[in-house]
């Protein structure tokens, strides 16, 4: 069965620090990959997505992610975080060739940015 | 404005009392889905629907029912709620399966 692992459950950074959040998935075939953000008290919003092509994708608010097929990874990065980036971040995957029509989410990473 | 709406936003109920959480989208999306969010467990998919009258189980379907009689609506039904269904529920939709999903604001359910 497909699964998604986010190894960092809680991350605390100071403003201007660099961010990298890990995401690994288990499916060996074609995948679509997503990062969503959930600000306190709000619903999930899409940060970025990868379907095919350039493995380095850029999203909103200065976030980017790199798809490394050989490592089954899709890590999220931001060069310099701001206090307003305090939120929970979810990695998600679906697998078009798997025969199922589910989306699988990771357990999330809570990011706290100190001003 | 393109959006997914859910009602109610907050609900406190008692064990065994049937309830329905409504979900509606105005984007003519084919795919709709329900998730529950629990601390430390992330989002887990309950049910999804590929289109009208086409629904299937997600990873945690026990204790829930859904229906998709119209394209825009996808209600979640708890026939006999139990305390372990206390959670934050999100409805989501996407143009077609595989694409990015748009999420509703969430429904916080407490079952006592």
Q: How confident is the model at residue B61 (pLDDT cuts 50, 70, 90)?
A: very high
Predicted pLDDT at A7: 86
Whether the Cβ atoms of residue A93 and residue A4 lie closer than 8 Å to each other:
yes
Return d(Cα A21, Cα A7) in angstroms, integer. 8
Predicted pLDDT at A27: 85
B100 and chain A in contact, CB less than 8 A: yes
B33 and chain A in contact, CB less than 8 A: yes
Return d(Cα A70, Cα B109) in angstroms, integer. 41
Per-position b or e across B63-85, b if 16+ CB within 10 A of its CB: ebebbbeebbebbbebeebeeeb
Predicted pLDDT at A101: 87
Report pLDDT digits (tens) over A95-108. Answer: 887 788 899 999 99
Predicted pLDDT at A90: 96
Q: How confident is the model at residue B57 (pLDDT cuts 50, 70, 90)?
A: very high
Q: How confident is the model at residue B94 (pLDDT cuts 50, 70, 90)?
A: very high
Report pLDDT digits (tens) over A23-63. Answer: 999 988 889 999 999 999 888 999 999 999 999 999 999 99
* Distance between A42 CA and the closest CA of chain B, angstroms: 6
State the average pLDDT over residues A85-92. 96
For residue B45, pLDDT over 90 is answered with yes
Predicted pLDDT at B1: 85
Nearest CB to A106; choose among B35, B42, B92: B42
Q: How confident is the model at residue A92 (pLDDT cuts 50, 70, 90)?
A: very high
Q: How confident is the model at residue B97 (pLDDT cuts 50, 70, 90)?
A: confident
Predicted pLDDT at A100: 82
Chain B contact probe: residue of A1, A49, A103 with most B CBs at under 10 A: A103
């Amino acid at each position: 069965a497909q699964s998604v692992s986010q190894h960092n459950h809680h991350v605390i950074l100071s403003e201007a620090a660099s961010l990298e959040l890990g995401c690994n998935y288990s499916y060996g075939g074609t995948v679509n990959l997503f990062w969503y953000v959930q600000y306190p008290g709000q619903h999930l919003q899409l940060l970025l997505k990868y379907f095919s092509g350039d493995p380095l994708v850029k999203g909103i608010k200065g976030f980017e992610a790199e798809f490394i097929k050989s490592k089954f990874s899709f890590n999220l990065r931001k060069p310099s975080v701001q206090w307003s980036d305090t939120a929970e971040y979810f990695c998600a995957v679906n697998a078009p060739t798997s025969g199922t029509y589910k989306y699988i989410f990771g357990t999330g990473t809570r990011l706290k940015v100190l001003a | 404005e393109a959006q997914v709406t859910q009602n109610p936003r907050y609900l406190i109920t008692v064990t065994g009392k049937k309830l329905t959480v409504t979900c509606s989208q105005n984007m003519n999306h084919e795919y709709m889905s329900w998730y529950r969010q629990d601390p430390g467990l992330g989002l887990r998919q309950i049910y999804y629907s590929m289109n009208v009258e086409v629904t299937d189980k997600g990873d945690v379907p026990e204790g829930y029912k859904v229906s998709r009689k119209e394209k825009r609506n996808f209600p979640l039904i708890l026939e006999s709620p139990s305390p372990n269904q206390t959670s934050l529920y999100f409805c989501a939709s996407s143009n077609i399966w595989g694409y990015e999903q748009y999420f509703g604001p969430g429904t916080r359910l407490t079952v006592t």
